[in-house]
Homo-oligomer: A and B are copies of this chain.
Amino acid sequence: MPLYLRQSRADHSLFHSLRLSKTRRINIDKREKKFYSTNLMITSRDRDDILISTVIRLIKRRATSNLQNVVSKSHAADIAHWFPYLRPNEKSILFGLLIEQGQMGEVMSELNSEDRNLIVHEFDAAILAEVFHTMPADDLGDILADLPEEKSRQLLKLIKGKASEHVEQLLQFEERTAGYIMTPNFLALTEETTAAAATARIRELVDIEMVFYVYVVDRENQLKGVISLRQLVATKPDTPLRDLMTTRVFSVHPNTPQEEVAHVVARYNLLAVPVIDDTVKLIGIVTIDDVIDVIREENTEDMLKMAGTGDVNIASKSIFKNTRARLPWLLASFVGGLVAVYVIGVFEVQLDRLAALAAFIPIVIGMGGNIGTQSSTIVVRGLATGEIDPKGAWKVLWREVATGVALGCVYGILLGAFAKLRFSKVEIDGLEFAWRFPVVVAIAICVNMLIAAAIGALIPMFFKRLQVDPAIATGPFVTTSIDVFGILTYFTVARFLLF
């Protein structure tokens, strides 16, 4: 939603929230002091806790007027933040109140998808249309996209007017693209407009997003240039925009993936990037506040992919959906596990003759798994932040292998020593071995950690080359393949040295 609007509300809300109630205020001050002196991570989160507990208490007490008071004085982003802490029935009460007070639209923009859907299903279309009317197109489109086809169409009918046109425009584009996250509200003027006229125009505007840039377009609405509000302020009133504007502008296409949009905005430190269609027509802008959300979202997604749970807001999913989302990812390690069963089966003879071998299976594969995860995470993240050159595969591989060897030797020696203490002598078919078994586990760990580091580094590099998101590939695949290799190395070394 419009940045400056949010800001003004923000200041407004803080202004009041500091006046909320004397006791609570003193509390905050005390904690702040503590914070300042000790530099612990509290303050705003802390303030949240205080507010949340109050709100819950007021709802329980049905103290509507006090509740109205707190709500009307709180920032939409804060109110939205209370919901995950509330019970369903408490949520409904708060929803009702927000709708009465006409704050629902603003809060809606800040809510997570779970709570949004809750609202949409609790209130009937007429009321929702009212709420949606007060919402910016990009946030609204986001909500409607989650709804079943006909429900969202029904709502769009009720909204009508420019708003619904805008939303329909956004909904043409795929999710997670510039066209989908852009806002169609921006200030575009012609080249002839003078600085003074532009300034005058800005005065009139109410709900335009990001008035930090003025975009210059021709009659066909094709983007000609951009002027920062600062440039506008800093020039003679009668200068036409033509003479002020920067003629070449960073821009994105409606189909540009949101990750790429974030990349452009972040790298060049823009506050907004214009979205231009194939005919160079300016159809919207993506603002930096939405870019921050994108960065958050993409990071969450990477983490969850690496953990093998394919979904962004899985934390708020039902048990069934949760299970369904995670099931396939576990299949990788299941299949890997079955392979391991066969591999170990091959060495059944050795196991029968020396059961002690089995005791070291977990540590051998465990150490491999962990160093492999380290390597893959470093590479995945390095590729994402650009610290690692996707073409520098050999350089990375070499560093990881070297690290693997170093760590492998350290832990190999430690494990060997332990094995020697634990099994001072192992007996195989009547023959006694004092040293061979420790040597076996030592070598096994060392070789396995080397291989694990290499695999962990190579798999993401490999997927990157295939234009597949490295994060997907990394989690279960790496650990599983490492398990199998680990067992193979372990028993091969054992058979070679012991039998």
Given A370-B330, A374-B309: A381 touches B315 (CB 8 Å cut-off): yes
A11 touches B345 (CB 8 A): no
Of the residues B81, B267, B356, contact of A77 by C-beta under 8 Å: B267
- Interface: A20 (CB within 8 A): no
A322 touches B403 (CB 8 A): yes
Residues of chain B within 8 A (CB-CB) of A463 are none
A319 touches B367 (CB 8 A): no
- Interface: A94 (CB within 8 A): no
B11 touches A248 (CB 8 A): yes
A323 touches B406 (CB 8 A): yes
Residues of chain B within 8 A (CB-CB) of A12 are 246, 248
- Interface: A304 (CB within 8 A): yes
- In the assembled complex, 24 residue pairs joining A and B whose CB atoms fall closer than 8 Å, in A order, are A7-B228, A7-B268, A11-B226, A11-B247, A14-B250, A35-B256, A39-B255, A39-B257, A43-B260, A212-B212, A229-B229, A291-B292, A295-B299, A299-B299, A300-B385, A307-B378, A308-B370, A308-B373, A313-B387, A337-B362, A340-B359, A345-B359, A351-B355, A361-B361
| Closest-CB distance, A372 to chain B (whole angstroms) | 10
Chain A 460-483 interface mask (CB, 8 Å, partner B; 1/0): 000000010000000110011001
Query: Which A98-138 residues have C-beta < 8 A from chain B?
Result: 112
| Closest-CB distance, A191 to chain B (whole angstroms) | 16
B323 touches A403 (CB 8 A): yes
Query: Which A14-37 residues have C-beta < 8 A from chain B?
Result: 14-15, 18, 32, 35-36
A296 touches B15 (CB 8 A): no
| Closest-CB distance, A142 to chain B (whole angstroms) | 16
- Interface: A163 (CB within 8 A): no
Chain A 56-86 interface mask (CB, 8 Å, partner B; 1/0): 0000000000000000000101100100110
**Interface stretch (choices A151-159, A216-224, A230-238, A431-439):** A230-238
Chain A 290-333 interface mask (CB, 8 Å, partner B; 1/0): 01110110011011101111000111100110110011011001
B270 touches A315 (CB 8 A): no
Query: Which A340-367 residues have C-beta < 8 A from chain B?
Result: 340-341, 344-345, 348, 351-352, 355-367
Residues of chain B within 8 A (CB-CB) of A228 are 4, 7
Of the residues B18, B269, B389, B487, contact of A10 by C-beta under 8 Å: B269
A41 touches B467 (CB 8 A): yes
A233 touches B203 (CB 8 A): yes
Closest 9 CB pairs of A and B: A337-B363, A307-B377, A315-B382, A15-B248, A358-B358, A11-B246, A340-B362, A344-B359, A299-B299
